[in-house]
Amino acid sequence: MSPSRGSRAVHRMLENTISACEVDAIFQPIVDLRSGCICGYEALSRPSRQSPFKNIGEIFDSAEQTGMLWGLEMVTRRQSLDAAAHWPGDVQLFLNTTPQVFSDTRFAATLIQCVRSVPGLTASRIVLEITERADQQFMEGLDEQVRLVKEAGFQVAIDDVGAGTSGLQRIVALRPHWLKLDRDLISDIHVDRVKQHLVRFFLHFARLSGVRMIAEGIERREELEVLTQLGVVYGQGYLLGRPGSRDQSIDPDLAEWMRQTWGGSDRDHLETPRHARIARFARPTLPVDSRDIVREVAATLLRQSSVPGVAVMEGRRFAGWCDREQVLRAAGDTRSTHPIGHIVNSDVTTVGIDTSIVDALQLAATRDERSLATPLMLTDHGQIQGMLTVRDLLNAAADMATQVNARTSPLTGLPNLVRADKHLCELIRQREESIRSGVIPHGVDAAVIDIRSFARYNSEFGYELGDELIKRLAMMIHMLVSRGDAGVFTSHLRDDQFLVTARPGILGKRTQHLRRQFDRLVAGDGGEGLDPGIRLRVLLIEDAISKVSSARTFHELARELRLRGDSDSDCDDPMAGAFRSRLSA
């Protein structure tokens, strides 16, 4: 018979459970969706066979009712830490802690002592999870304990994001390193546009805040595919691995599928002035092992006066940053014989190698005054690639401004011919790379738009009015064709000529609507057109990238189609040549 909560019998059973450690630790993998490799485990618990309790929920509910949560979590935490000590240094442990225990004034000091007593384990490998569902009454204590564990090098995650009513407020207050999206937000995401938009929102926030994000509850391959296309890097769920032993592996076929899906997704890797990568401005950093002794690291820094600090590594994984003054201070006090991993700062901001200059600048701007001088650390799959000082960021910003001026049309502000050619070359490269990898490439349609008889318009009305007409057309293309869609690229090639590329099926109806609106613009409000000979010409080339081998051959194809359209227009149809819905090579 199930024990009744709050009874003396339950109290005795809990005491026996805690003293005899009748709770087993189990672990569920957290997977890097780019590589298909396990990068961490979430520690869970279940009653051992000897336990009189039916499930772990019953144990924790009873412990909460009888005031024994602290002792119970001491047992489960120690089991998890002992297991993590045997993992590679680049694998992290995610620890669940109840808000009641986390907010206890003893928590940070006890946890620090516990971790330091486990050989081979450092704080930077531990991620402490706080549920978004935590009661508000514990928040004041949580704030202080979170501050203390961060200072000690631990990382913090907010669990069940999207499930509670005060989640955003909690994220702002606690400034976590990780967000774990609630499984209800992930379930059936492949058929729910609203859920996809919410995930995009959290991804955008995470990217600008230097926070990493995990999608929980992934159970279907369709869900995983959509999450990959959205740009989610980390995942957890039954599809990837069930709770089990402390040493697991991902199904090789699934891991290979993840690598191919990530590599073949249609996220735009093109480097534009606004999206130029920060990686090329990074400088080398001095890496040290987390087990290196503080005084030895200090001696190294004294021999290299220009080095601002060290990057602390756990195997291949970047664990945190220690600036020069921090190391030298520690070398002069009782911490001189400690491993450097015990004084690491886990609150340093990391950026991926594909981070844009704009995003890196925004990340740096969000830091408080004390952290402004701390460099941004450049990582790739958790491995350190370099660092970026404030001076490096300023140089990047100046370079970006120069590049924008060099690659932008001064009349319309759109990317110019140089940028358009780079865009076309990148699309061609991505297609060839997909084919080599055995992945079916995504099709891309292209539309070349120009104004027929524009030279005559300039001659009759002057270049100033001609420029105004081009600017009006650029605005109409932006409003009616691009529509702010990140998957639509628009550029001003020259004079009255524009290029738009997009996924298949996007451009046909939008460019038809554009032509109709342009006709109304030229006709004027009173129906008396300034120049009846002006018409908009749209050359729509379906699956354009499959038909060309370079930017030059694309322009040759467009020129050939324009000439063909001109010859076809010599007829009585007044609309001939004004709009070609489909011209294929």
Chain segment 529-542, per-residue pLDDT in tens: 555 578 899 999 99
Percentage of the chain exceeding pLDDT 70: 88
Domains of the chain: 24-42+83-264 (3.20.20.450), 278-403 (3.10.580.10), 415-568 (3.30.70.270)
Residues 107-140: tens digit of each pLDDT? 999 999 999 999 888 898 999 998 765 566 666 7
- pLDDT tier at 164, thresholds 50, 70, 90: low
pTM score over 0.75:
no
DSSP state of 277: B
Q: What integer pLDDT is reported at residue 276 of this predicted model?
A: 65
Rounded CA-CA distance 108/102 in Å is 8
Query: Over 70: is that where the pLDDT of 550 sits?
Result: yes
Query: Whole-number mean pLDDT of the chain?
Result: 85
152 torsion bin: left (phi>0), alpha (psi -120 to 50), beta (else):
alpha
| Integer Cα distance of 286 and 168 in angstroms | 36
Find the Cα–Cα–Cα–Cα dihedral 414, 420, 422, 424, rounded to 10°.
140
**What are the pLDDT digits (tens) for 475-523?**
999 999 998 777 899 999 999 999 999 999 999 999 999 999 998 888 7
Confidence of residue 232 (pLDDT cuts 50, 70, 90): very high
Is residue 399 over pLDDT 80?
Answer: no
Question: Which contiguous run of DSSP H or E holds residue 536?
Answer: strand 535-541
How far is the C-alpha of 237 from the C-alpha of 33, rounded, in Å? 12
Per-residue tokens: 383? 């491995």
Is it the case that residue 468 has pLDDT exceeding 80? yes
Predicted pLDDT of residue 204: 87
Predicted local distance difference test score (pLDDT) of residue 532: 55
The number of residues in the chain equals 585
CA distance 5 to 60: 11
SS (H, E, C) 166-212: CHHHHHHHHCCCEEEECHHHHCCHHHCHHHHHHHHHHHHHHHHHCCE
- Tell me the two tokens of residue 548: 């060309």
Give me the amino acid identity at 280. Answer: R
Residue 439 has pLDDT above 50, yes or no: yes
Q: Where are the beta strands (DSSP E) in 244-338?
A: 286-289, 309-314, 317-323
3-state secondary structure of 93: strand
